[in-house]
Amino acid sequence: MSATSSSTPSPRHRRKALLILALLLALAVIVVGANHQVHRAAEDQVESTLQRWRDQPPDVPGVHLRWADYDRDSGDLQYRIRYIPEENSVPWQMLADLQGTDSPTLETSGTAQITTRGLMGLLGTIARVEGGLMVSDTWRSLLPDFEGDEWLRYHMNVDTRGRHHLALAGRGYEGRILDDRGEGTGETAWQPWSLEARLASEDRLADLDASLPRLWLREENSALDALVEDLNLHLEDITLDQGLTMIGASALSMQQLSVEDPGGTLVLRDMALNWNNHREDDRLRDWMDLSLGYMSLNGDRILDQARLQLNSDLSFEALQDLMAVSDTLNLEDDLSLSEAKRLEQAMTSLLRRGGEIKLERLSLTQEAHGTIEGHATLGLDENAEFNPGGGLHQWDTLYGDVRFTLDEPLIQALMARSIRAQWPHINEAQLDKRVKAQWREWSAILGMMPFVTEWEDQRITLALELEAGVLKAEGRQVMNLRDLMGMF
């Protein structure tokens, strides 16, 4: 009897258990309700984003949403977009030629599956989008040999903290190019390509990687044949400061570029461009490194190796102002007096803040003939009163230096190329005679130049410095610029 009563929960324990159960049920209801609300909020965000895209002005350059059908229950999205290229840009010119119009556009339809994640997504990925862009009639009118219905697949994670992730996978193509009359204008082929990007926040790109293994184009009318192989792009920590200047780092590499047309053949191999800039207060510091492994022109080997390294230090605000003014002008046309004045004022403001441009390294090598290599610097100290049209004493704040070494055989090889370009049918004996005569003249002139500081073993060294309006070579004064300018 006592054992049975001891195993039966007391009324107090039963009430406690019921209370806990009620709290758990209430919490479950709250969680389910909150989860539903988060799903609805995410779905509302999808609809508002589509609406904002639809509300954009329909005739400005860019990508426009023609229409969209979004099913909140299934997450299915169907849409159509139109691309309007910037006038006179490369895409505009290509599409204008193919479509036979001054208002080229490109349209495509797309599908997507949008999955919202509810409460679990509040700490990161709130929604996932997977879909593709279709090969529309517009596409097939230009590139009729596309296989399959899609030319692009994409995947995107939408993050609550702005750390969105996007991955694109483009399909390959091999076939004809047609014009607006349906007639063939050439052929093209490219391998499947990819692009992947991650945002660090809504206004900062953490990194981007893009890859195109091969692109080939043959254009019949101009007899153009172009090939690009192993093209790769990497961007890191990129922001668009004040909407004009891109801050961050990038790397572009290409295994080969070859271009053939009636004018000749150009081949470049192992090209790489690395670039980095950063801002410190009002100073924008920029660095660039370009390297090239091989270059030939019309079958002749021009370079076996080349390297160019540049950096600069300029006023960020003044540079922004100059860029803003330049963007409002057509610098290819004659400027009005007021436009020229605005441009001059912006340039003067930049010069007054001081700055420096440095050629850290220039190296051009032909294995058979030698190398040209050197460095140079040109800078201007800060001077709030500086006026380009003012007195010569203002240029005392200009400073710089240059130092280059040149191998005689390489200079003579360049002379021979220049002579052959002027007289294509010259024979080797005449060419050799002209090169020797021209080199004798150059040697005599160079021998009298004070900035030739060393000439030994067929290697020439040139050096010059500028300080306080005085040109110097190895510390020796060569020329006073004030005295020179005073003669005019």
Band of pLDDT at residue 172, cut at 50, 70 and 90: very high
Q: Is residue 238 part of a domain?
A: no
The DSSP-derived string for 109-153 is EEEEEEEE-GGGGGGSEEEEEEEEEE--HHHHHH-TT--SSEEEE
Single out the residue of 65, 170, 155, 69 nearest to residue 115, CA to CA: 155
Please list the residues that pair with 176 across neighbouring strands. Answer: 187
Q: Is residue 23 part of a domain?
A: no
Select from 221, 240, 256 the last residue of a domain. Answer: 221
Single out the residue of 243, 311, 249 nearest to residue 283, CA to CA: 311
Say whether pLDDT at 25 is over 70: no
Q: To the nearest whole number, what is the mean pLDDT of the chain?
A: 84
Single out the residue of 358, 342, 354, 406 nearest to residue 380, CA to CA: 354
Single out the residue of 433, 456, 327, 315 nearest to residue 380, CA to CA: 315
Encoded tokens for 321: 């102002």
Whole domain around residue 167: which residue ranges?
A: 57-221
d(CA 133, CA 144): 16
What is the tally of structural domains in the chain? Answer: 2
At 333-346, the pLDDT tens digits run 788 888 888 888 99
Q: Is residue 434 part of a domain?
A: yes
Say whether pLDDT at 488 is over 70: no
Quote the strand ranges of 202-335, DSSP E: 204-219, 224-241, 245-261, 264-280, 283-292, 294-297, 300-303, 305-315
Question: What is the per-residue pLDDT for 31?
Answer: 42
Reduce the DSSP state of residue 435 to 3 states and report it: helix
Average pLDDT in the 67-95 region?
86
Please, is 9 exposed, middle or buried when counting C-beta atoms within 10 Å of its C-beta (0-12, 13-18, 19+)?
exposed
Select from 194, 221, 248 the last residue of a domain. Answer: 221
In Å, what is the CA distance from 66 to each residue of 91, 124, 267, 319? 20, 31, 43, 38
Specify the pTM: 0.81
Say whether pLDDT at 37 is over 60: no
Question: What is the per-residue pLDDT for 33?
Answer: 42
Q: Is residue 178 part of a domain?
A: yes
Q: Is residue 281 part of a domain?
A: no
At 402-417, the pLDDT tens digits run 999 999 999 999 899 8
Give the whole-number percent of the chain exceeding pLDDT 70: 85
Q: Is residue 375 part of a domain?
A: no
Question: What is the per-residue pLDDT for 402?
Answer: 94
Band of pLDDT at residue 17, cut at 50, 70 and 90: low
In this structure, of 28-32, 156-160, 283-287, 355-359, the range with the lowest mean pLDDT score is 28-32
Question: What is the per-residue pLDDT for 120?
Answer: 55
Q: Is residue 121 part of a domain?
A: yes
Question: What is the per-residue pLDDT for 115?
Answer: 81
Question: What is the per-residue pLDDT for 432?
Answer: 92
d(CA 447, CA 410): 18
Say whether pLDDT at 260 is over 70: yes
Select from 169, 202, 221 the last residue of a domain. Answer: 221
Q: Is residue 128 part of a domain?
A: yes
Average pLDDT in the 125-145 region?
86
Single out the residue of 126, 194, 129 nearest to residue 162, CA to CA: 126
Average pLDDT in the 424-443 region?
91
- Please give the biggest Cα pair distance in the chain: 130
> Hey, what amino acid is at 37?
Q
Higher pLDDT, residue 72 or 229: 229
